[in-house]
C-alpha cells in the first residue's frame, strides 16, 4: 500500500493552517451535469487573511524566513495578487514588516481593479506597496529594494512570484499527501484532479508529492491561467524536479507527469473569458460556492467543458482544488 504522508520535518515551518481542509461532494451540480461525480477540495478554507492556497506555501516560506532571522519579507506579483495579500497576512501574524512589489501587468484600469479586492486588503494588512507600471520586471526591483533595506540594517527575505520556490512548493507536496490520506479514509478514489496553473508552484509541488507517494501524477490536469502550455509545462517541470529533490534526492519528475491544458487561458492572464463567467455563476448558483475570476474560474470552466464533452467517464470521480482568491471577485466587478 502506498504511504499517505511525507516526512517534511527537516524543513523549518511557521504554522498558518488549521489542519486538513475538507473534501465536499457537489451533488446538485453533478446531478445537473449528468456525468462524472464532482468533488471539491476546500483549500479556500485555509482562513488567515481571507484565505487561499498560498498559505500552504507560506508555512514553509515563513519558516525559512524566520529561521534566517528575517525581520522583513518582500514579494512580487500583479496588482490583484492573492499571494501578495496572503504574504502580508502571514507577515502580520509573524510580526514581520512586509513590502509588496506589484505591477500593473493586467490591462484593467477601472477603480475596482486598481483599488478594491486584494489591494484594499494589502493596505489593511499594513503592507508597504510599490506600484510598478506594466512591463516592469518586479523581481530585480524587489532584490534592489532588499539591498537598500539591508544597508539600513534590516534582515530581508525575498519571496519569488507566487511563493513558488522549491521550499514554497513543499506546501503542495503535503497537500497531495493530505488528499491521498482523505481518499484512503473515505474510500473514494479520485480518477482526475483539476487545478489552475499560475506561477506553477501548486501544480509542481502537488506532482512532486504524488511521485514521492508512488501515485500517478498524470491524473492531475492543471489549466494554464498565466502562461501558454509550453512555457507553463517547462516552468512547472523544473519546479517539480527541484521540489522533488528536496524531498528525496533520487526522485525524478518526468515530462509526462505534468499535464497542462491551455484551452481556458483566453486572451491571457487576468483577462476574463465567457466560459470563466459562466463557470463562476454556475458554481455559485447551484452549490453556493465562490471561486475567483483569475484562477479558479478558468480552471473550473475547463472541468465543466471536460464533463460536458464526456472526457471524464460517467462513473469517474473528479476532484477540483478550490484555491481561494475571493477578493478578486470584487476587483472584477465590471467583468460580471
Q: Are 143 and 158 in contact (CB under 8 A)?
A: yes
Grid cell 540594517 is found at: 153
Picking from 120, 119, 66, the residue whose alpha carbon sits closest to that of residue 95 is 66
Q: Does the protein bind ligand PLP through residue 297 (CB under 6 A)?
A: no
On the CB side of 178, CA atoms within 13 Å amount to 21
Judged by CB, which is closer to ligand PLP: 49, or 198? Answer: 198
Show the site string, 95-134: x = touches ligand PLP by CB under 6 A, - = not: ----------------------------------------
Q: Are 266 and 225 in contact (CB under 8 A)?
A: no
- Of 21, 164, 182, 264, the residue at the interface with ligand PLP (CB under 6 A) is 164
Interface of this chain with ligand PLP, residues 206 to 235, rule: CB under 6 A: none
In angstroms, give the least distance from the CB of 150 to ligand PLP. 27
Q: Does the protein bind ligand PLP through residue 165 (CB under 6 A)?
A: no
- Of 35, 63, 175, 196, the residue at the interface with ligand PLP (CB under 6 A) is 196
Determine the residue with CB nearest ligand PLP. Answer: 325
Q: Are 174 and 180 in contact (CB under 8 A)?
A: no
Query: Catalytic pick from 30, 81, 183, 199?
Result: 81
Q: Which one of 2-10, 125-133, 152-160, 201-209 is the stretch in contact with ligand PLP (CB under 6 A)?
A: 201-209
Picking from 84, 53, 26, the residue whose alpha carbon sits closest to that of residue 323 is 53
Alpha-carbon distance of 50 to 142, in angstroms, equals 24
For residue 243, give the H/E element and its range. helix 229-247
Q: Does the protein bind ligand PLP through residue 325 (CB under 6 A)?
A: yes
- Of 16, 167, 202, 318, the residue at the interface with ligand PLP (CB under 6 A) is 202
Judged by CB, which is closer to ligand PLP: 35, or 205? Answer: 205
Using CB atoms within 10 Å of the CB of residue 51, give its burial: 0 to 12 exposed, 13 to 18 middle, 19+ buried: buried
Grid cell 506555501 is found at: 57
Pairing of strands 259-261, 220-224: parallel
Residues of the shown chain interacting with ligand PLP in the complex, contacts defined by CB under 6 A: 52-53, 82-83, 162, 164, 196-203, 292, 295-296, 323-325
- Catalytic center residues: 81
Amino acid at each position: 500500500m502506498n504511504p499517505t504522508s511525507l516526512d517534511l520535518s527537516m524543513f523549518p515551518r511557521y504554522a498558518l493552517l488549521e489542519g486538513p481542509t475538507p473534501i465536499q461532494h457537489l451533488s446538485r451540480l453533478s446531478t445537473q451535469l449528468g456525468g462524472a461525480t464532482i468533488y471539491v477540495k476546500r483549500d479556500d478554507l485555509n482562513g488567515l487573511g481571507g484565505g487561499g492556497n498560498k498559505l500552504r506555501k507560506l508555512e514553509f516560506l515563513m519558516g525559512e524566513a524566520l529561521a534566517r532571522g528575517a525581520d522583513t519579507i518582500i514579494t512580487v506579483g500583479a496588482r490583484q495578487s492573492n499571494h501578495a495579500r496572503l504574504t502580508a497576512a502571514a507577515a502580520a501574524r509573524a510580526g514581520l514588516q512586509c513590502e509588496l512589489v506589484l505591477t500593473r501587468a493586467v490591462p484593467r484600469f477601472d477603480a475596482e481593479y486598481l483599488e478594491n479586492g486584494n489591494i484594499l486588503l494589502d493596505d489593511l494588512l499594513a503592507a508597504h506597496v510599490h506600484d510598478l507600471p506594466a512591463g516592469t520586471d518586479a523581481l530585480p526591483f524587489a532584490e534592489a529594494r532588499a539591498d537598500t533595506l539591508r544597508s539600513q540594517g534590516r534582515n530581508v527575505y525575498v519571496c519569488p512570484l507566487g511563493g513558488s520556490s522549491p521550499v514554497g512548493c513543499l506546501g503542495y507536496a503535503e497537500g497531495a499527501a493530505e488528499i491521498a490520506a482523505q481518499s484512503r479514509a473515505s474510500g473514494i478514489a479520485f480518477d482526475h484532479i483539476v487545478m489552475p496553473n499560475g506561477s506553477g508552484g501548486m501544480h509542481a509541488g502537488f506532482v512532486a508529492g504524488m511521485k514521492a507517494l508512488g501515485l500517478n501524477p498524470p491524473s492531475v490536469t492543471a489549466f494554464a491561467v498565466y502562461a501558454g502550455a509550453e512555457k507553463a509545462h517547462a516552468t512547472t517541470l523544473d519546479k517539480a524536479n527541484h521540489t522533488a529533490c528536496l524531498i528525496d534526492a533520487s526522485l525524478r519528475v518526468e515530462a509526462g507527469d505534468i499535464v497542462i491544458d491551455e484551452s481556458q487561458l483566453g486572451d491571457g492572464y487576468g483577462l476574463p473569458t465567457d466560459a470563466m463567467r459562466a463557470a463562476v455563476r454556475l458554481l455559485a448558483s447551484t452549490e453556493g460556492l465562490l471561486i475567483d475570476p483569475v484562477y479558479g474560474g478558468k480552471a473550473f470552466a475547463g472541468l465543466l467543458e471536460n464533463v460536458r464533452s464526456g472526457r471524464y467517464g460517467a462513473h469517474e470521480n473528479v476532484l477540483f482544488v478550490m484555491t481561494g482568491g475571493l477578493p478578486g471577485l470584487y476587483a472584477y466587478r465590471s467583468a460580471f
